[in-house]
């Protein structure tokens, strides 16, 4: 079958394309830009068109479009005129969920890293799972693999436009639940109810795995779910410190010599009502959020009866997914880290991790707000989110699928943040932000770029400019 994907350069749709190629289908696609993902697809035999035209859909059997594509898009109109099925990501997910067992990783934050950890841990543990992840994972060699359909498929289950409701998971992980995507979910109650519907799709409620540290996840009322979280009192009081203990617990969390984290791993036996220390878990990744992500991955491995020791060793060596606290390089004494964070809670976690990992450096945060709806709906919490930074630079809003004045919206957000006393500045476009950073940074600084659009380009270009200065 020949699938044509509109928006194929995006991380999510390039992953879909890879799975379709794995299954032996013919794939073509179009997008406004070409990138590393499209180059890799061309090497695999896909046909990639730069730009959009009705002619590009000729010969296809079905068209798959991203949520950002409007109904009057020329390729969608051509497909409908030809009587061609017009599909969404949810349609493919629904089909794949019917074909094989799915392990769905959901949550407002942490889906990508947790999905990557689950896939890496399972494959090391003797369960050769396939995977569909929203970022490239070096340890996996990419972001998608169909693999053997007799084994599970790990899917990063995005809640945008309720697409994760297309899945019928065998196992589901919910990392946290905090209102997001106000363009789809008008308020927090609708958002939470949709996550409850997602969890209800799991046939056996005991095969839902929840973060017990997250109030939103716990408010779903899934009393039979397996729980994971951090409890520092467990090391000194393993018997009575908690009336309702987590099934998987980290205790004694500390920074290790490599800059990651180390913790004691505990497992609760519900039948015997007893805690058992399984050993020490090391991670290359830093931050308490990654401790929780690792606990979720180990819980999945145990649920699928994989080799826990092998999974633990794989997680100890796991270096993370791209654009997740990714160190881009250092030049002229300036270290640059890039992260996908674009929700205030994720930004706060990223900056807190940066502050803890590099306490002696001046921390300059660059934020590219993502979508006008999110920027407006969550405008009152950005100051708290960015509090760990010494200086905050706010770029133009990345509109994505929305329309508005990107510069005016950014300036309005900066004015609100500055009124609280935060050292925050509007820096406009990426080019303007680069010029601003070029005059601001000095040896010893840490620059953290954050956003879900093209914010990662800023760090790359800053390093290029600084390296030129080193040579000069």
51 known ligand binder: no
Average pLDDT over residues 167-195: 96
Does the pLDDT of residue 147 top 90, yes or no? yes
CA distance 285 to 287: 7
223 known ligand binder: no
Nearest to 111 by CA among 286, 343, 266, 382: 343
343 known ligand binder: no
Average pLDDT over residues 155-170: 96
Which is higher by pLDDT, 101 or 236? Answer: 101
66 known ligand binder: no
Q: Please write the tens of the pLDDT for every residue from 387-396.
A: 999 999 999 9
- What's the confidence (pLDDT) of residue 230? 95
What are the Cα distances from residue 379, in Å, to 69, 369, 401? 27, 10, 19
124 CB contacts (<8 Å, ≥6 apart)? 307, 310, 311, 313, 314
pLDDT tier at 48 (50, 70, 90 boundaries)?
A: very high
Count CB-CB contacts under 10 A for residue 94.
Answer: 17
Does the pLDDT of residue 472 top 70, yes or no? no
319 known ligand binder: no
- What's the confidence (pLDDT) of residue 362? 97
State the pairing for strand pair 248-255/261-269.
Answer: antiparallel
What are the Cα distances from residue 86, in Å, to 62, 94, 160, 266, 446? 6, 15, 19, 48, 46
- What's the confidence (pLDDT) of residue 306? 97
Q: Please write the tens of the pLDDT for every residue from 387-423.
A: 999 999 999 999 887 889 999 999 999 999 999 999 9
Q: Please write the tens of the pLDDT for every residue from 226-261.
A: 999 999 888 777 665 555 689 999 999 998 988 899
Average pLDDT over residues 166-183: 96
- What's the confidence (pLDDT) of residue 257? 86
Region of 433 (left: φ > 0; alpha: ψ -120 to 50; beta: rest) is alpha
- What's the confidence (pLDDT) of residue 238? 65
CA distance 430 to 182: 26
H-only helix segments in 304-418? 308-316, 344-357, 372-377, 382-385, 406-418
DSSP 408-472: HHHHHHHHHHHTTT--EEEEESHHHHHHHHHHH--TTEEEEEE-SSSTHHHHHHHHHHHHHHHH-
Does the pLDDT of residue 315 top 70, yes or no? yes
The mean predicted confidence, pLDDT, of the chain is 94
CA distance 48 to 431: 28
| One-letter-per-residue 3-state SS of 239-307 | CCCCCCCCCEEEEEEEECCCCCEEEEEEEEECCCCEEEEEEEEEECCCCHHHHHHHHHHHHHHHHCCCC
Q: Which domains does the chain have, with CATH numbers?
A: 2-87 (3.40.50.720), 100-317 (3.40.1190.10), 326-470 (3.90.190.20)
113 known ligand binder: yes
Average pLDDT over residues 307-316: 98
451 known ligand binder: no
- What's the confidence (pLDDT) of residue 187? 94
Which is higher by pLDDT, 204 or 67? Answer: 204
Q: Please write the tens of the pLDDT for every residue from 130-139.
A: 999 999 999 9
Find the radius of gyration of the CA atoms of the chain. Answer: 22
State the pairing for strand pair 62-65/130-137.
Answer: unpaired
Indicate the SS3 state at residue 142. Answer: strand
Q: Please write the tens of the pLDDT for every residue from 425-450.
A: 999 999 999 999 999 999 999 999 99
Average pLDDT over residues 336-348: 94
Q: Please write the tens of the pLDDT for every residue from 19-40.
A: 999 999 999 999 998 998 999 9
- What's the confidence (pLDDT) of residue 321? 87
What are the residues facing 4 on neighbouring strands? 28, 63
Q: Please write the tens of the pLDDT for every residue from 111-124.
A: 999 999 999 999 99
- What's the confidence (pLDDT) of residue 239? 63
Over pLDDT 90: what percentage of the chain? 85
In this prediction the pTM is 0.90
- What's the confidence (pLDDT) of residue 273? 81
- What's the confidence (pLDDT) of residue 400? 84
């Amino acid at each position: 079958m020949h699938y044509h994907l509109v928006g194929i350069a995006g991380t999510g749709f390039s992953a879909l394309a890879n799975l379709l190629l794995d299954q032996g289908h013919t794939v073509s696609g179009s997008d406004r830009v070409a990138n590393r993902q499209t180059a890799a697809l061309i090497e695999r035999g896909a046909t990639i068109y730069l730009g959009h035209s009705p002619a590009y859909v000729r010969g296809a059997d079905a068209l798959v479009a991203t949520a950002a594509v409007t109904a009057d898009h020329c390729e969608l109109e051509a497909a409908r005129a030809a009587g061609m099925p017009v599909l969404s990501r949810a349609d493919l997910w629904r089909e794949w969920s019917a074909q094989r067992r799915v392990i769905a990783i959901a949550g407002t934050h942490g889906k990508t890293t947790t999905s990557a950890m689950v896939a890496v841990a399972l494959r090391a543990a003797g369960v050769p799972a396939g995977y569909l992840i929203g970022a490239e994972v070096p340890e996996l060699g990419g972001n998608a693999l169909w693999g053997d359909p007799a084994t599970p498929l790990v899917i990063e289950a995005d809640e945008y436009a309720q697409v994760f409701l297309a899945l019928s998971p065998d196992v589901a992980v919910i990392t946290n639940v905090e209102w997001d995507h106000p363009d789809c979910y008008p308020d927090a109650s609708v958002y939470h109810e949709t996550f409850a519907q997602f969890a209800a799709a799991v046939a056996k409620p005991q095969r839902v795995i929840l973060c017990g540290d997250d109030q939103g996840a716990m408010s779903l009322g899934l009393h039979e779910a397996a729980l994971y979280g951090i409890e520092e009192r467990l090391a000194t009081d393993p018997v009575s410190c908690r009336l309702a203990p987590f099934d998987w617990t980290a205790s004694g969390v500390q920074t290790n010599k490599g800059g990651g984290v180390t913790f004691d791993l505990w497992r609760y036996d519900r039948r015997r009502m007893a805690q058992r220390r399984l050993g020490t878990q090391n991670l290359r990744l830093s931050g308490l959020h990654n401790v929780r992500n690792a606990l979720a991955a180990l819980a999945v491995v145990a649920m699928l009866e994989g080799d826990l020791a092998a999974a633990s060793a794989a997680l100890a060596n796991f270096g993370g997914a791209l654009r997740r606290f990714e160190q881009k390089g250092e030049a002229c004494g300036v270290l640059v880290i890039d992260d996908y964070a674009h929700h205030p809670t994720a930004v706060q976690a990223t900056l807190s991790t940066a502050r803890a990992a590099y306490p002696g450096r001046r921390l300059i945060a660059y934020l590219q707000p993502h979508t006008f709806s999110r920027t407006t709906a969550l405008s009152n919490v950005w100051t708290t989110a960015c509090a760990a930074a010494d200086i905050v630079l706010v770029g133009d809003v990345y509109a994505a699928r929305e329309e508005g004045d990107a510069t005016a919206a950014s300036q309005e957000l900066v004015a609100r943040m500055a009124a609280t006393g935060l050292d925050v500045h509007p820096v406009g476009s990426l080019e303007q932000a680069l010029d601003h950073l070029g005059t601001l940074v000095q040896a010893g600084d840490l620059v953290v770029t954050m956003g879900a659009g093209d914010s990662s380009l800023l760090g790359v270009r800053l390093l290029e400019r600084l390296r030129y200065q080193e040579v000069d």
